[in-house]
Structure formats: C-alpha cells, structure tokens
Amino acid sequence: MSAFATLTSPVGMIGVVSDGAAITRVAWRSTPPEGSIVFSDPAAEPLLAEALAQLRAYFAGALRRFDLPVDLGDQTVATRAVLTALHETVGHGETITYGGLAARSGTEVPARGIGSIMGANPVPLIVPCHRVVAGDGLGGYSGGDAGHGLETKRWLLEHEGALPTSLF
C-alpha cells in the first residue's frame, strides 16, 4: 500500500508517493495513483511528510540536495546505472549533456537513449533529470504540467542558477 500527498509549487501541482520505506513516485498530478491512500495530513506518514518538507525547502531555495530514500522500481541494469549516476554526481546548479551522462554512467546507452531514460524517471526533482541537457540547448523535458515541459525545465535550471534568468 502506498501513501499519496500533493504540494503546490511554482511549477505546478506535484504529487508524491511513498511506500513507507522509500519515495516511489514524484509526478505533476493531483490525483493519486490507483491503490494509494491520500493523506490530507501527510504527518501521518513520516517519510511522505519529510519528502514534502524537502520539496518545499527546495522551491524556497533552502535545499540543494534531497536526502530521501528512493525506489526506482523495476528498471533495467542500464537504466538504473544512468539514474544512479545522475542522482549521485550531478549537483544543484550543474548540468550535464545526454552524452556526458551516458559516458559517466559507464553504460553503452547512446545519448538518444539517455533522453528516453530521463522521460521514464519515476522520481523527477529528487533524481534531477531536468539537469540533463542537449549539447546545443535544453533538450526535452516530460515533467511539468501538460504542454509546459520545457518551460518547467527552464524554470528549474534558472532556480538552481544553472541558467541565467530569462529576460522575457
């Protein structure tokens, strides 16, 4: 059984799922996944409450690294290696290219495949797939409210100081 709660953020409504031992899902949604228990008072589930507190601190500019257990779910060895390399080696305010992450992960995954792995990341923000960029620009982003992926990615990177604030 999993617990679900939401957080209103500058980049939309974020839903967080915990199984009590780890954070299993972070998504831009306000409806719980099937089988989840919705907590109107997340304090009843300590890990969920901690995840929401850390996300609030991140958006307030007071947290630079999440300290939460995550469960990536069923993944291939290569996918797990790529997401782990991202989580452990690309810090707040930094970016890495798709090709750079492929090399850093020690896998044979081509840069294009890295993009697919980023799109399937079950815990964005905590495992910061927004920090992975194309060699010639932002690349893609499947996070954020529908139709606002790149806008969300830009906001997150500006918030972290990895991009200069947009003038427009």
Sign of CA dihedral 94, 98, 103, 108: positive
How many C-beta atoms surround the C-beta of residue 165 within 10 A? 9
Low-confidence residues of the chain: pLDDT under 50: none
Given 3-state DSSP classes, what are the helix, strand and coil percentages for the chain, each rounded to the nearest 5? 35, 20, 45
Flag whether the pTM goes above 0.75.
yes
pLDDT the model gives residue 30: 82
The CATH architecture annotation of domain 77-159 reads: Orthogonal Bundle (1.10)
pLDDT the model gives residue 44: 82
Dihedral (C-alpha) 145, 100, 116, 156: value to the nearest 10 degrees?
Answer: -10
pLDDT the model gives residue 76: 95
Task: Assign 117 to helix, strand or coil.
Answer: helix
Q: Are strands 96-97 and 132-133 parallel, antiparallel or unpaired?
A: parallel
CATH 3.30.160 residue window(s) in the chain: 2-59
Task: Assign 136 to helix, strand or coil.
Answer: coil
pLDDT the model gives residue 41: 77
Active site members? 129
109-156: pLDDT as tens digits: 999 899 999 999 999 999 999 999 999 989 999 999 889 999 999 999
CATH 1.10.10.10 residue window(s) in the chain: 77-159
Q: Which CATH code is given to the segment(s) 2-59?
A: 3.30.160
Read out DSSP for 20-31?
SSSEEEEES-SS
- Determine the Cα angle at 143 with ends 139 and 147, to 5°: 85
How many C-beta atoms surround the C-beta of residue 33 within 10 A? 13
Task: Assign 5 to helix, strand or coil.
Answer: strand
